[in-house]
Amino acid sequence: MFQKGLKDVVAVHTKIASVDGDIGELRYRGILVGELVATNTFEQLATLIWTGEREQAKDFGLNQYRELPAHIIEIINALPTEISLMDAMRTAISAYAHTAFKEKPIAEQAVLLTAALPVIVARHYRNQLGLPVVEANKDLSHTANYLWMLTGEIPSDVQVEALETYLKLTMEHGLNASTFAARVTISTESDLTAAITSALGTMKGPLHGGAPSGVISMLNEFKDPTQIRTIVKNKIENGEKIMGFGHRIYKTEDPRSIILREKCLELQGKDAWLDIATIAEKEIIELLAEFKPGRKLYTNVEYYAAAIMRSINMPPELFTPTFSIARMIGWTAHAIEQLENNTIFRPQSIYVGEMK
């Protein structure tokens, strides 16, 4: 049976995560993501997704693996600053595929690549800006260290809490395009660096990992709350798409957006951007229900992700790399799972050309 884009075709059995779009439910290793985000750090959730172990206190010590090999540093420094962050990430990760690295157990490789990716992003980003590199700080968490390396300033607790909530909610989401790319590559019995390089190349595409710049642009138009309703109403009447609402999988509210909204409400009064986003969402939902009845256009994760990224002064060019830093957990977990019971992916195609 032909399904364009393999839509709704079941290609794998997995124990890593489940996404139920009809009821708006996301689970990591069978546990509701809301429960996990509230009680675990990024490092602890990574351990759960990689191994299935639920011990909250355990993690793989990502802070001990942030030092890049000398040849990776040389490659990053040799890259023209015009090369995008996603391309720099892909190049640097592929360069890990030397013999000594391949000889390590794949679980250890996953930890090393996860620890390395924020360092790669921050180094190339500061090279692009002509700023000195900020070395990793082993005393900081995965999230806090990333912000430290980007800016050279110890981030506030509010900044770390907001960004870490986003990272924990986007580290895994089933068989999305980039995860599928990773599994296809590793199914050929290639190596983990090749699988992650494939995933990064897929994530780069605007239909998958594209930055939520449209949400930022819309929120930028709201100079104060009294303008929101008029601006959004004009957009709807002019046929413009309201960015940050609607999702291909979720037929109800995206559970990740619910959690991000709750986090924004917790931080209300501490950041003007988060305040305007929470007010605007309510107005937009009411207007969409009024002008597009029956469409079920609920808030998606992109909406509050954009608000959080903007609130911590993260420029748009860092959105997709930051998404990739989180999703590295899911990519590596799926690659490991694929090899545990591997069959190479080989779907069929139907020839529709002319017979001569």
Q: DSSP per residue over 181-230, as a string?
A: HHHHHHHTT--HHHHHHHHHHHHTSTTTT---HHHHHHHHH-SSGGGHHH
* 282 and 141 in a common domain: no
pLDDT above 70: residue 251: no
pLDDT above 80: residue 273: no
**Model pLDDT, residue 249:** 65
Which has the closest alpha carbon to 289: 248, 233, 247, 244?
Answer: 233
Percent of the chain with pLDDT over 90: 59
pLDDT above 80: residue 55: no
* 114 and 180 in a common domain: yes
Residue-averaged pLDDT of the chain: 90
User: Is 4 part of any domain?
Assistant: no
> What is the extent of the structural domain holding 234?
213-311
CATH number of domain containing 301 = 1.10.230.10
* 139 and 171 in a common domain: yes
What is the C-alpha to C-alpha distance for residues 85 and 120, in angstroms, rounded to an integer? 9
pLDDT above 80: residue 189: yes
Which pLDDT band holds residue 248 (cuts at 50, 70, 90)? low
* 202 and 92 in a common domain: yes
Measured in Å, how far apart are the chain's first and last C-alpha atoms? 25
Which has the closest alpha carbon to 297: 253, 332, 336?
Answer: 253
CATH number of domain containing 155 = 1.10.580.10
Structure tokens at 279: 């007010």
* 203 and 108 in a common domain: yes
247 has catalytic annotation: yes
Cβ neighbour number for residue 55 with a 10 Å cutoff: 10
Question: Which one of 172, 247, 334, 337 is the catalytic residue?
Answer: 247
Comparison of pLDDT for 101 and 310, the residue scoring more: 101
Number of domains in the chain: 2
User: Do 84 and 108 meet the contact criterion of CB atoms below 8 Å apart?
Assistant: no
What is the C-alpha to C-alpha distance for residues 68 and 16, in angstroms, rounded to an integer? 29
Which stretches of 267-300 are DSSP H helices?
Answer: 272-291
- What pLDDT digit, counting tens, does each position of 135-147 carry? 999 999 999 999 9
pLDDT above 90: residue 264: no
Cα 56 to chain center, whole Å? 22
Which pLDDT band holds residue 57 (cuts at 50, 70, 90)? low
pLDDT (mean) for 26-32: 95
User: Is 50 part of any domain?
Assistant: no
Which has the closest alpha carbon to 191: 113, 87, 86, 75?
Answer: 113
What is the C-alpha to C-alpha distance for residues 20 and 218, in angstroms, rounded to an integer? 29
* 292 and 252 in a common domain: yes
Ranking 260-274, 304-318, 329-343 by mean pLDDT, the lowest is 260-274
Angle at 152 between CA 267 and CA 272, to 5 degrees: 25
User: Is 48 part of any domain?
Assistant: no
* 229 and 305 in a common domain: yes
pLDDT above 80: residue 246: no
User: Is 203 part of any domain?
Assistant: yes
Question: Which one of 164, 172, 302, 337 is the catalytic residue?
Answer: 302
pLDDT above 80: residue 90: yes
* 305 and 159 in a common domain: no
Cα dihedral 158, 164, 165, 166 sign? positive
CB within 8 A of 283, min separation 6: which ones?
228, 229, 232
* 135 and 192 in a common domain: yes
Cα 271 to chain center, whole Å? 23
* 222 and 104 in a common domain: no
Flag whether the pTM goes above 0.85.
Answer: yes
pLDDT above 70: residue 247: no
Structure tokens at 349: 């195609």
DSSP letters, 65-98, are S-PPPHHHHHHHHHS-TTS-HHHHHHHHHHTT-S
* 196 and 218 in a common domain: no
User: Is 153 part of any domain?
Assistant: yes
**Model pLDDT, residue 22:** 81
Q: In what order do the strands lie in the sheet with 31-32?
A: 17-20, 25-28, 31-32
* 189 and 77 in a common domain: yes
67 has catalytic annotation: no
User: Is 13 part of any domain?
Assistant: no
User: Is 259 part of any domain?
Assistant: yes
Which pLDDT band holds residue 281 (cuts at 50, 70, 90)? confident
User: Is 222 part of any domain?
Assistant: yes
Structure tokens at 274: 């988060």
**Model pLDDT, residue 58:** 66
